[in-house]
Structure 1
Amino acid sequence: MENFILLDGGTGQMIKDNGFKCEGEALWSSAALKYAPELVKEVHESFAKAGATTIYTNTYSLHLNSIEDIPEKLGTLIAKNIDIINKICQTYDCTYRISIGPLAVKFHDASEYSGAYMKDGRATIKDVCDHYDAILGEVQKHGYKDVAFETIPTMAEVKGAIKSLKKYPRISAFLTVVPKDENETVGGDSLIEITKIIAECLQINAFGINCCNPNFCSPVAKLISPYIRDNQFLIMKPNDGRKYLPEDDCYFGAPIDMTKDLPELAANKVRYIGGCCSVRPDDIKKYARYIEEHKIKMHDS
């Protein structure tokens, strides 16, 4: 698996599916760090056992709940999660990144899949920067340095995340956006134009898409790979292709097997492969097996 690095899958969804009641929790699955840390450990470890060599923390939905909230509470949960992951990393020879969700996580309305909150008056760029500052400040204070901005729906929020990141020069980042199709984000912004902005930020060492249909991955990689820096790489972290039905709280349809696309992805500077939401350890294990059997290596540009 040289030159291909496997990420994990849908940690938060697995925590929910394994019995943690996320509904009513302001921090959704991240609240499991307070109430069910053993479950968090089990889910992280299941992905490490499957072959993931970079584990994302269960902190995607962390945010400040109110004006009375303080960043230190977020830092405490991040530190607790990293204590859990460090033990797993020692056993399975893997590493981690601190997952940071978009400002949308505070609204609990899945608006990361539309970007509506950046257009309907609920949020400003200052709000975006305050959200990222609160988390990044705690990351730096605790001495951590590797984060992953996930599921960003708009160009405006990408710019806000970068503005905050530059205040913390010791921190390096992955960043993924949610695509609407093969050319634009769900917020209607050009993937090429966002890639150009990402290329200018030296603290971002990998960029890509997440929580989308796997069929988007190959065309998006081909589209944006010419615009990233020579020392940047691409991330593909889609769901498994099934549609989520919120009224039934379940996934519908047949999953899409993305293993057949791995050689083409490798040829277009994709180094990081993983999954989102409905992707389970068995899916990561399937990637690992396919990569090993076919000896896929990323092509140099």
Structure 2
Amino acid sequence: MNPIEQILNRFPLVILDGAMATELENYGCNLNDRLWSAKVLMENPELIKKVHLDYFQAGADCAITASYQATIEGYKERGLTGEEAIDLISKSVALAAEARDEFWADLQDQSNRPKPFVAASVGPYGAFLSDGSEYRGDYSVSEEELIAFHKERIRVLVGAGADILACETIPCLAEAKAIVKVLKEFPDVYAWFSFSAKDEHHISDGEKIAKCAEWLDGQQQAAAIGINCSAPHIIESLINEVKSQTSKPVIVYPNSGEEYNPASKTWGKGSSADQFTSNTRRWHEAGAQIIGGCCRTAPEDISGIAAWARK
């Protein structure tokens, strides 16, 4: 079952959530760590659930789980057993589903929005490396190694009951192709594919996003194609590039426009919430049907989308 298709059959837009890590930091978490927000799955999982609730209340139709950097290998490096790592990855889905069910049960008026769904974050190989290579795509690994890296985590996320997979911040087409090969082992599962981009026409490793969209257009399990964690000023052009090669829904959830320094794990200055809201409206007019925010965006950015989308 494809939850994106179900919602777009009834509503003009799917509203995603915003940054998980930014909100966890606002709640006092220190995420200067190789595990990033996956560390909070170990230490304070109820806080992750709280962030999911914040975004549902802001208007999000989807919770993206805190599993972006949660890998079996990464947790093992931290001293956990494989079984403990699997439990934590599964927990990321359970927390989002619990938040969704509690929010929906308490919502007085359910008429003007869809019941939210849970998208299990499948971060790229570069996120595990924690060296910024998800913004370069310069992996020195084979397709077989990428398949092996993604397979077990995807199996766990699917088994935990995620509604869809969010294959996000993908820097190279080779990684998307590897993930599609894994998906064929789970024929009833859908995934969206969002790439990190370096400019108005190219993803992070220099491949044209139009070529990525053209290839994914032929993949039945690809529910949407687009861009995340990239600068807002290049998004509109990238939407046009994707739309030129596919009729699948276009998904965009850029960052706030701030520059990330992978060495210090810090961000520079970005755009205001008002500016982000006006950008999202323009992206929808350009053809994006699934819109949210990535790093450094907040619930107020999502409520800004809901304010114009649900009029």
Matching residue within 128, 131, 139 for 2:149: 131
**d(CA) in 1 for partners of 2:158 and 2:167?**
15
**d(CA) in 2 for partners of 1:102 and 1:170?**
22
**d(CA) in 2 for partners of 1:40 and 1:73?**
18
5 Å matches for 1:179-218?
179-218=197-236
Matching residue within 115, 129, 139 for 1:107: 129
AA in 2 matched with 1:235? I
Deviations 1:38-65 (A, max 9, x none): 2111211111111111110011001223
**d(CA) in 1 for partners of 2:154 and 2:46?**
26
Aligned residue number for residue 297 of structure 1: none
Aligned residue number for residue 37 of structure 2: 29
8 Å CA contact retained: 1:177, 1:209? yes
Aligned residue number for residue 62 of structure 1: 70
Matching residue within 109, 119, 125 for 1:97: 119
TM-score (norm 1): 0.86
**d(CA) in 2 for partners of 1:34 and 1:177?**
28
Q: What is the deviation of 1:76?
A: 1.3
**d(CA) in 1 for partners of 2:264 and 2:128?**
21
5 Å matches for 1:1-301?
2-24=11-33, 26-63=34-71, 64-65=73-74, 72-93=83-104, 94-116=116-138, 118=139, 121=140, 123-229=141-247, 232-245=248-261, 247=264, 249-255=266-272, 257-293=275-311
Deviates more, 1:236-245 or 1:168-177: 236-245
**d(CA) in 1 for partners of 2:283 and 2:36?**
33
AA in 1 matched with 2:284? A
Deviates more, 1:1-10 or 1:185-194: 1-10
- RMSD over equivalenced CA pairs, Å: 2.4
Deviations 1:147-203 (A, max 9, x none): 100101011111111111112112110110011111111101110110011111101
8 Å CA contact retained: 2:21, 2:31? no
AA in 1 matched with 2:171? P
8 Å CA contact retained: 1:12, 1:30? no
Contiguous gaps of at least 5 residues in structure 2: 1-9, 105-115
TM-score (norm 2): 0.84
Deviates more, 1:260-269 or 1:134-143: 260-269
Q: What is the deviation of 1:2?
A: 2.8
**d(CA) in 2 for partners of 1:242 and 1:265?**
19
Deviations 1:92-112 (A, max 9, x none): 332211011001122111110
AA in 2 matched with 1:114? R
Find the residue that maps to 2:310 and give its secondary structure. helix
**d(CA) in 1 for partners of 2:279 and 2:31?**
34
8 Å CA contact retained: 1:20, 1:36? no
Structure 2 vs 1, CA of residues 280 and 142 (structure 1 numbering), >3 Å: closer, same or farther? Answer: closer
Find the residue that maps to 2:90 and give its secondary structure. helix
Find the residue that maps to 2:244 and give its secondary structure. helix
Structure 2 vs 1, CA of residues 71 and 129 (structure 1 numbering), >3 Å: closer, same or farther? Answer: farther
Deviations 1:246-276 (A, max 9, x none): 6483432444724334454334441111011
Identity within the alignment, %: 25
